[in-house]
Amino acid sequence: MDLGPTLNWIIVLASSVVAALVLLLVVNLVLRRIGRRTVAIDRAWRRIRRPVAGLLLTTALRIGFGGLTDPSTLRDIGMHVLLIAIIVCAVWLVAVFVLVWLAHAQYRVVARMAGDARAARRAQTQMQLIRRIVNAAFVVVGAALVLLTFPGVEQIGTTILASAGLLSVVLGIAAQSSLGNLFAGIQLAFTDAIRIGDIVEVDGTWATVEDITLTYVVVNIWTGQHKVLPSTFFTTTPFINWSRDDESLTGLIYFSLDWRVDLAGFRAEFDRLVDASGLWDGRSRGVRVTDSATDRLTVRATVSTANTDDDWVLRCDVREGLATWLREHNPEALPTQRVLMSGDDAARPA
């Protein structure tokens, strides 16, 4: 049995792998040394070294295969497989490089907006969606380039990518639900309708926007549950964004009280509770009688806070404190059901 061809294959493969590993080791040492002085370079190298290693290895192996002079089916299959691997690694490398640059740009933008939380959340939302679009775009490009390596499909792939028919296909599919959500997700991110971290009210429930993807939005309900909504929900259904401009709120507390309520004492206790809470942001507060059309008075207490969490806590504390004060100091103000009985008492039997 002639072991010459087999040994030749082993030598070629081993030398290609060793050459790629040595080159990768040298590049790694140089960039790690530079990265000690520049944090951005070190962080970027840690992200791109895997696709770089894959590209170097597959390129070295293909060069080695190309050096084999004996034509064979195995050699041709190996050359084609390695060509596909090179394309995949190259697209992977470019995609990771672009994503690293976008992450660095996001870091710089957010750092400049350190004093503006709303603008920082908007930038974070938009950059996150851009990264996902870039990922999807590179997957499509990579698949198209791999498709073009097959001789029988080359003409078809070229025609599809170069013709205007591709645009009509995309526009036709866009009417469907999946791409409708895709375009809705892009619209949400770049029209600033919602941002990651915004407080929204959906289906009568308060929730925090946790994630915005290309097709759906994840909101975190205050109970700890996560609700997944299609992106089209926020473009077709009215909803309340409590932190659209800022997170400050004015909370409302309603009381239905008897006409004998001591409004001066009620207001004094309200002011005391608000001052003692430490949650009032100093913008506005007050007690007003908003309705007197029935046998009771409707008293509305308003108080402003810096965010939704403070609003909820302060309203609960004020409601509880005033209920306690009414019971202990002004019980006659509690709702009373009055019944008026009339008739001729003399006509009644003894």
Number of folded domains in the chain? 2
Q: How far is the C-alpha of 278 from the C-alpha of 186, rounded, in Å? A: 40
Query: Is 172 inside a domain boundary?
Result: no
Q: Is the pLDDT of residue 335 over 50?
A: yes
Evaluate whether residue 311 is within a structural domain: yes
| pLDDT tier at 68, thresholds 50, 70, 90 | low
Query: Which distant-in-sequence residues (6+ apart) come within 8 Å of 155 by Cβ?
Result: none
Q: What percent of the chain has pLDDT over 90?
A: 17
pLDDT tens-place string over residues 276-313: 999 998 888 999 999 987 788 999 999 999 887 888 89
CATH code: domain of residue 254 = 3.30.70.100
Write down the pLDDT at residue 1: 45
Kindly report the pTM of this predicted structure: 0.50
- The yes-or-no verdict on residue 158 having pLDDT over 60 is no
**pLDDT, tens digit (0-9, with 9 covering 90-100), for 4-54:** 556 666 776 777 778 778 887 888 788 777 777 777 777 777 888 888 888
* Predicted pLDDT of residue 164: 44
Token duo for residue 241: 């964004």
Q: Is residue 15 part of a domain?
A: yes
**Which domain range does residue 277 map to?**
249-333
Q: Is the pLDDT of residue 118 over 70?
A: no
Mean of the per-residue pLDDT values for the chain? 78
Decide if 94 is inside a domain.
yes
Domain end marker among 58, 77, 112: 112
pLDDT in tens, 171-221: 555 545 566 666 777 777 677 778 888 888 888 788 888 888 777 888 988
